[in-house]
Amino acid sequence: MNARIERAAIELLARHNVADPPVPIDEVAQLAGAEVRYRQFDDEVSGLLLQEVGLTIIGVNAAHPKTRQRFTIAHELGHLTLKSHKGRPVIVEHLSRARVHWRDGTSGQATEREEIEANQFAAAVLMPQPMLEKDFWPLVRRHSDEVVTARLARRYGVSAQAMRFRLVNLALLDPM
């Protein structure tokens, strides 16, 4: 867990008065200066971040499940917030003077620092630790880990896999 990234996510949510899940990630992205657009891409492309002078667009694959779309928006917002998009992205294409950063199958493998940090930011902004802990403890006393994970995933608008990963990373669930 990266304290700088956790803090950046909490500060962004506080700045935009987000206090309860699910985080309205489309609105947060727009308030942060990005226009969110849904388009059909090849299946392996989740989304993109396009920046040109005076324009920032987060493109999202309209064919992907809603939970994946939300994570993609949060991931690209992470690049904007953390300024890691100025580093070496996984794939860069230049269109006139615009820079396009694609989120594809290799991005999810998180082998580069910028991608790892953007994924961490996405998890922190969609499943903020203070909110998650508040919701977690009452559930865990009465339910199995699987039920807790499924209920929290629905409440936060994320996949069960993303929720489990977040709960393990926050040491709320045992990795086994």
Q: What is the DSSP string of 112-129?
A: SHHHHHHHHHHHHHHS-H
Residue 52's pLDDT is: 82
The amino acid sitting at 70 is R
Residue 54's pLDDT is: 85
Residue 140's pLDDT is: 93
Residue 91's pLDDT is: 34
* Architecture in CATH for domain 3-126: Orthogonal Bundle (1.10)
Q: Could you tell me if 117 and 90 are in contact, meaning their C-beta atoms sit under 8 angstroms apart?
A: no
Q: How does pLDDT run along the chain (176 residues), one tens digit per residue?
A: 799 999 999 999 999 999 999 999 999 999 999 999 999 988 889 999 998 888 999 999 999 999 999 999 999 999 999 986 444 333 333 333 334 455 455 545 556 888 999 999 999 999 999 999 999 999 999 999 999 999 999 999 999 999 999 999 999 999 87
* Residue with tokens 């500060």, as numbered in its chain: 11
> Which residues, including other chains, have CB under 8 Å from residue 107's CB and lie 6 or more apart?
46, 75, 90, 115, 118
Domains of the chain: which residue ranges?
A: 3-126, 128-176
Residue 105's pLDDT is: 53
Residue 176's pLDDT is: 78
Quote the CA–CA distance of 98 and 48 in Å, as a whole number. Answer: 12
DSSP secondary structure code for residue 108 in this structure: G
Residue 112's pLDDT is: 86
Quote the CA–CA distance of 59 and 61 in Å, as a whole number. Answer: 7
Q: Which residues of 94-109 are buried (b: 16+ CB within 10 A; e: fewer)?
A: eeeeeebbbbbeebbe
